[in-house]
Amino acid sequence: MKICCIANPNSVHTHRWVKYFYERGHDVYLIGEHKPVIDPPSGVTIYDLSDITNTRKYRYLRWGLEARRIVRQLQPDILHALGAVGAGWLGYMTGFHPFLITAMGSDINLLQKRSSLFQRFTKSTLRNADYILCVSNDLFDKVLAFGGNPDKREVVYRGVDLDTFHPGANKGKIRRKLSIEPNPTILSIRSMNWLYNPLDIAKAVPLVLQQIPQTRFIVFTYNQDKDVFSQFKKIIKQNNSTYAVNYVGGMNDDSRLANYYRASDLAISVPSSDGTPNSVLECMACGTPVVLSDLPSLHDWAKDEKDSLFVPVGDAPAIGKAIIRLLSDKIMLDKLGHNASKAMKNRADHKIWMKRIEQIYYQLAGNVSP
């Protein structure tokens, strides 16, 4: 099958997606709606729309014309936009069918906060899709409200590679390999931009250190907004907490990423909006509990005080209290980690979910799966 995806070429989720289908024997093409800063997986052909223009105000109009030209030339069996906004717009502008959209989370959750033109175009995009995949039950309902066909949508998760993301046998050995001190270790797992509220985490750091001064924080800084990262470091410095915080950039190696999850006692993910974040599921699969924003989509997977702890959005003191509570109660911490790993093993195997997506591809293309 010839598959054409439109997506952010720098997203780890995009890379895993196209790599999976290429390794399944399909011809895979990727139209990138951001400037690529990392190479695509081997065997996947990429088209860089930013080479044409990257002028913010007009780029999607020009990109839409180029995407239409590329897709008409390729004549794929399926066109799939990973995201209703941006990638979805481009897919809509190609006029190609069968056209599939994955609603990722914030593309739909934040739609009502956008301009009326932004909303109208996104709703038209959803109505034009032949099928819509939703990564949470919450998104499933919202897609219908925004114009998605009730008979052409389905909740399908990306899932977790359980061969890579699973509990480690020796946390001490893993920490030594990563040069992590044998202290209580907290990992901030989301990207360094506004949506994920990293400044709330920065404000929680000194609150934790006041109670448990030996605690250390590892902060992922991938896909960073430079202004946000600067403010984060400023807050840490102002609170004399610099000594307790280490920063780690993006990683293309899933095995190394899994080791960071395993090496940590606890992780943090506190965005204002979310779909089904793979980083959270992967962390839980490694047996590390996560302090989570109390958002409807996350209740599909996590249960408060069973395999995670929920905190209100935008509440730095609550983040601090949740961390202190778990670091002070090893029995509860271990229970949450064990339950988290078990839940992911039972429900999150990506091989099962990706197989379902492949079946949808064949159904939309009018082919019979081999």
Q: Per the structure block, which two tokens stand in for 126? A: 């959803």
Residue 1 CA: distances (Å) to CA of 28, 33, 43, 175, 364: 8, 23, 14, 43, 12
Residue with tokens 């946390």: 171
* Alpha helix ranges (H) inside 148-277: 171-177, 198-211, 226-238, 254-263
Which strands form 45-48's sheet, in the order they lie side by side? Answer: 45-48, 27-32, 2-7, 78-82, 99-103, 131-134, 153-155
* pLDDT at residue 122 in the model: 86
| Distance between CA atoms of residues 132 and 113, nearest Å | 22
* pLDDT at residue 49 in the model: 92
Q: Per the structure block, which two tokens stand in for 369? A: 């799966």
Is the separation of the CB atoms in 79 and 96 below 8 Å? Answer: yes
Determine the 3-state secondary structure of 73 from DSSP: helix
48 strand-pairing partners = 32
Q: Which helix (H) or strand (E) holds 16?
A: helix 12-23
Dihedral sign for Cα 91, 92, 97, 101, please.
positive
Q: Phi first, then psi: give them for residue 93, nearest 5 degrees.
A: -70, -20
Q: Which helix (H) or strand (E) holds 336?
A: helix 330-347
As a CATH number, domain 2-159+350-365 is 3.40.50.2000
Dihedral sign for Cα 348, 85, 29, 252, please.
negative
Q: Per the structure block, which two tokens stand in for 316? A: 């730095």
Q: Per the structure block, which two tokens stand in for 94? A: 């190609």
- Domain residue ranges of the chain, discontinuous segments joined by +: 2-159+350-365, 171-347
* pLDDT at residue 297 in the model: 83
Is the separation of the CB atoms in 13 and 83 below 8 Å? Answer: no
Consecutive 10-residue averages of pLDDT for the chain (370 residues)? 94 89 96 87 92 78 94 97 92 96 78 74 90 85 76 86 90 91 95 94 98 97 92 97 93 89 97 88 96 91 94 97 97 96 93 93 78
* pLDDT at residue 82 in the model: 95
Q: Say how many C-beta atoms besides its own lie within 10 A of residue 69's C-beta.
A: 12
| Distance between CA atoms of residues 284 and 31, nearest Å | 32
Peptide bond into 277 cis (omega under 30): no
Based on DSSP, count helices (H) and strands (E) in the chain, helices before strands: 14, 13
Q: Phi first, then psi: give them for residue 260, nearest 5 degrees.
A: -65, -40
Domain 171-347 in the same topology as domain 2-159+350-365: yes
Q: Phi first, then psi: give them for residue 89, nearest 5 degrees.
A: -55, -45
| Distance between CA atoms of residues 272 and 278, nearest Å | 16
Cα 103–Cα 83–Cα 126 angle in degrees, nearest 5: 65
Q: At what angle do helices 226-238 and 198-211 cross, to 10 degrees?
A: 20
The residue type of 139 is L
* pLDDT at residue 369 in the model: 55
Model pTM score: 0.81
CATH of the structural domain 171-347, one choice from 3.40.50.2030, 3.30.300.30, 3.40.50.2000, 3.30.420.10: 3.40.50.2000
Q: At what angle do helices 254-263 and 278-285 cross, to 10 degrees?
A: 60
